[in-house]
């Protein structure tokens, strides 16, 4: 069934790419053409097709392209990962530059993987740089979380895509370079390219909008140096003075009108405490650090585009090496907010279980839900470095995850919403043999000490006396009688009868009580209770399994035995 859904997703994406929007009728037609064996099921399939088409029609071109891979493998790779211009193999240096102000989300995975993939495709160098010059929102735990999550993704990129080595080549912590940045600021002041402005913020904002200089613009170099030293020594409070780059107050790009480059932040830095109180703004630190650390191609998300001019102006005034700045589009997830601004209050008010709550798309949350780092890596590899913003449907990542898990994870029986069943004629102790995985020749043995099991209530609903079902790996049975809290079964005469519905079960006295949490919205879970087969007890936390007829899940807790549902 899941294979069919994947095929439908691909056909719908192809259809949408060709005609702008996918049509359920056309997709169903293509599906039947590709799989004539499904023709008898067309009626049941149409609702699935319709559901997929609705999802696909909301997606951006780029996500669609990721879903409808063309067959020409080589060319495809070049189209997804267009060559960088004017570069030599071995000479490319890229970086990821996260701010340690929260736990990384799926959105950060793109910012990590795009430069990493390019660095490895060109056998170049890849840097991890912490942009920690905004101390009010930064915490040490976030540095660690970023290292941990990024490591998992890069190691997965090496395993899944062969991009080696699957780690960063060097780690840089920006705040250690603050003294160097002060030195460069002083140089700008001495050159007459920067001045200290003590206008209140609202005046600065208004004058920049109007294109009017303030009284501080023409201060002497000596005066500016004196004020700058006062900023550093603590004679100004936060918001009372800032250093501005002298460019052009009538520049058509308002961002370019004497932008602030250093400001006072009176907050303790997670590494340096109160050692510093003057911090650079993003445009200053990013361009200086990229230039000084040898970055040849800086990838950043598109919203920084108006700032490129400011960054170039800073480099030129300081005579520092320039480099290519490449923009890429942002990722949003359909129906799930990615921003820390949204997630943080939910964590702080304990509506969420923490930053690793499986209901939110932090990398930690996704891993806890059972989404493999490999699936995330594969997804972004197929999406490419595109400049277009993309809306991602979690179903697509789930489909990739399933493809990776399906051939290897072991299968277990779990009975949701159970009802007791007795099996007349079954001699106990009896031994059932359940297949561990279709790809493996091995079976798991389950011993029954008494002829009683749990089976899913939902399977009993449609049964009537005389119907037959097969209890997986145990026996084919016939319904003798049904009461509200028990069903009475008896062994069938023909144990090899074909075409009998196969039902999962758990032994009555030894079934493991299981709680499954199905993440819905950031506020809610669906809870499914039931019994699983005894072998579940041998699993460890974070093991992945497939529950027969239900889907994939990750062991979250052993006592009480709790699973997080990943996807079908």
Contact residues for Zn ion, defined by CB under 5 A: 197, 199, 214, 216
User: Based on CB atoms, which residue is closest to Zn ion, 116 or 236?
Assistant: 236
SS3 277: coil
Q: How far is the CB of 224 from Zn ion (least distance, A)?
A: 11
Q: Which is nearer to Zn ion, 210 or 440 (CB)?
A: 210
Which CB, 227 or 446, lies closer to Zn ion? 227
**Helix (H) or strand (E) run with residue 444 in it:** strand 443-448
30 versus 216: smaller Cβ distance to Zn ion: 216
Question: Which residues touch 193 (CB under 8 Å, ≥6 apart)?
Answer: 245, 246, 317
Smallest separation (angstroms) from Zn ion to the CB of 270: 31
Choose between 228 and 355: whose C-beta lies nearer to Zn ion. Answer: 228
Q: Provide the minimum distance between the beta carbon of 181 and Zn ion in the complex, in angstroms, as a whole number.
A: 22
Pairing of strands 512-519, 561-567: parallel
Q: How far is the CB of 191 from Zn ion (least distance, A)?
A: 19
Q: Is the peptide bond before 563 cis (omega within 30 degrees of 0)?
A: no
Collect all residues with Cβ–Cβ distance below 8 Å to 488 and sequence separation of at least 6.
Answer: 421, 422, 424, 479, 480, 481, 482
Q: Taking Cα atoms as reference points, which of 134, 154, 146 lies closest to residue 104?
A: 146
Q: Which is nearer to Zn ion, 217 or 272 (CB)?
A: 217
Shortest distance, CB of residue 183 to Zn ion, whole angstroms? 24
Q: Residue 238 CB, nearest distance to Zn ion (Å)?
A: 16
| 242-245 and 506-507 beta bridge pairing | unpaired
Least spacing, CB of residue 196 vs Zn ion, in Å: 8
Cα–Cα separations (whole angstroms), residue 211 to 150, 196, 207, 250, 406: 43, 18, 6, 5, 61
Phi-psi region of 65 (alpha: psi -120 to 50; beta: other; left: phi over 0): alpha
DSSP string, 138-204: --HHHHHHHHHHHHHHHHHHHHHH--SS-S-SEEEEGGGGHHHHHHHHHHHHHTTSEEEE-S-HHHH
Nearest alpha carbon to residue 339 among 106, 100, 96, 63: 106
Nearer Cβ to Zn ion (122/228): 228
Closest to 283 (Cα-Cα) out of 261, 268, 264: 261
* Closest to Zn ion by CB, 199 or 232: 199
Closest CA to 143 of 171, 115, 106, 110: 171
Alpha carbon of 489 to those of 243, 425, 501: distances in Å? 83, 9, 15
DSSP SS3 for 96: strand
CB of 182 to Zn ion, least distance (A): 21
Q: Which is nearer to Zn ion, 240 or 543 (CB)?
A: 240
Whole-Å CA distances, 362 to 108, 298, 331, 377: 9, 24, 13, 15
Residue 250 phi/psi, 5° resolution? Answer: -110, 15
What's the min distance (Å) between Cβ of 54 and Zn ion?
54
Cis peptide before 429 (omega within 30 of 0): yes
Residue among 260 and 270 whose Cβ is closer to Zn ion: 260
Q: Closest CB to Zn ion among 108 and 216?
A: 216
CA 254 to each of CA 245, 250, 310, 529: distance values in angstroms, whole numbers, following the listed order: 13, 8, 10, 59
The two three-digit tokens of residue 247, written as one number: 């460019």
| Cα 26–chain centre separation | 32
CB of 313 to Zn ion, least distance (A): 19
> Is it true that the peptide bond before 97 is cis, omega within 30 degrees of 0?
no
CB of 300 to Zn ion, least distance (A): 30
Q: Residues 437-458, buried b or exposed e (16+ Cβ, 10 A)?
A: eeeeeeebebebeebbbbbbee
Which residue number, 261 or 413, has a Cβ lying nearer to Zn ion?
A: 261
User: Nearer Cβ to Zn ion, position 193 or 533?
Assistant: 193
We find the least distance from the C-beta atom of residue 206 to Zn ion, in angstroms, to be 11
CA distance linking residue 294 with residue 296, whole number of Å: 6
Length of the chain: 568
Nearer to Zn ion, 74 or 202 (CB): 202
Closest approach, Cβ 279 to Zn ion, in A, equals 19
- Distance in Å, CB of 239 to Zn ion, minimum: 13
Long-range contacts of 479-482 (CB under 8 A, 24+ apart): 480/424
């Amino acid at each position: 069934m899941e294979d069919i859904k994947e095929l439908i997703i691909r056909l719908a994406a192809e259809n949408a790419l060709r005609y702008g929007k996918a049509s359920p009728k056309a997709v169903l037609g293509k599906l039947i053409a590709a799989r004539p064996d499904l023709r008898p099921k067309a009626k049941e399939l149409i609702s699935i097709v319709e559901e997929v088409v609705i999802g696909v029609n909301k997606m951006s071109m780029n996500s669609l392209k990721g879903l409808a891979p063309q067959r020409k493998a080589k060319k495809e790779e070049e189209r997804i990962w267009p060559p960088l211009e004017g570069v030599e193999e071995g000479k490319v240096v890229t970086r990821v530059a996260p701010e340690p102000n929260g736990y990384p989300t799926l959105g950060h995975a793109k910012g990590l993987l795009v430069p990493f993939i390019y660095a490895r495709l060109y056998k170049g160098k890849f840097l991890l740089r912490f942009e920690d010059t905004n101390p009010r929102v930064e915490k040490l735990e976030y540095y660690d979380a970023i290292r941990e999550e990024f490591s998992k993704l890069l190691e997965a990129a090496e395993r899944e895509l062969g991009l080696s080595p699957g780690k960063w080549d060097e780690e840089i912590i920006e705040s250690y370079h603050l003294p160097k940045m002060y030195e460069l600021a002083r140089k700008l002041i001495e050159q007459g390219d920067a001045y200290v402005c003590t206008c209140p913020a609202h005046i600065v904002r208004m004058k920049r909008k109007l294109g009017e200089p303030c009284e501080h613009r023409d201060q002497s170099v000596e005066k500016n140096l004196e004020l700058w030293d006062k900023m550093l020594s603590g004679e100004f409070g936060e918001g009372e003075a800032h250093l501005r780059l002298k460019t052009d107050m009538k520049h058509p790009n308002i961002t370019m009108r004497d932008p602030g480059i250093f400001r006072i932040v009176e907050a303790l830095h997670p590494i340096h405490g109160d050692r510093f109180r003057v911090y650079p703004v993003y445009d200053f630190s990013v361009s200086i650090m990229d230039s000084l650390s040898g970055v040849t191609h800086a990838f950043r998300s598109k919203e920084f585009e108006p700032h490129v001019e400011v960054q170039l102006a800073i480099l030129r005034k300081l005579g520092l090496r320039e480099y290519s700045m490449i923009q890429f589009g942002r990722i949003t997830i359909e129906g799930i907010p990615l921003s820390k601004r949204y997630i943080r209050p939910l964590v702080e008010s304990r509506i969420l279980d923490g930053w690793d709550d499986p209901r939110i798309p932090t990398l930690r949350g996704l891993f806890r839900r059972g989404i493999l780092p490999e699936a995330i890596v594969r997804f972004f590899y197929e999406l490419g470095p595109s400049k277009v913003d993309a809306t991602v449907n979690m179903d697509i990542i789930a489909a990739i995850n399933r493809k990776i898990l399906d051939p290897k994870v072991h299968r277990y029986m779990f009975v949701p919403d159970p009802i007791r069943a007795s099996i007349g004629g079954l001699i106990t102790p009896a031994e059932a043999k359940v297949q561990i995985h279709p790809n493996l020749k091995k079976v798991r043995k389950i011993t029954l000490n008494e002829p009683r099991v749990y089976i899913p209530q939902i399977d009993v609903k449609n049964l009537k006396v005389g119907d037959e079902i097969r209890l997986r790996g145990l026996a084919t049975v016939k319904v003798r009688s049904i009461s509200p809290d028990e069903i009475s079964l008896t062994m069938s005469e023909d144990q090899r009868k074909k075409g009998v519905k196969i039902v999962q079960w758990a032994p009555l006295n030894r079934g493991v009580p299981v709680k499954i949490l199905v993440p819905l919205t950031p506020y809610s879970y669906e809870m499914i209770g039931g019994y699983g087969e005894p072998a579940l007890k041998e699993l460890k936390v974070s093991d992945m399994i497939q529950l027969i007829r239900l889907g994939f899940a990750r062991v979250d807790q052993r006592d009480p035995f709790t699973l997080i549902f990943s996807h079908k």
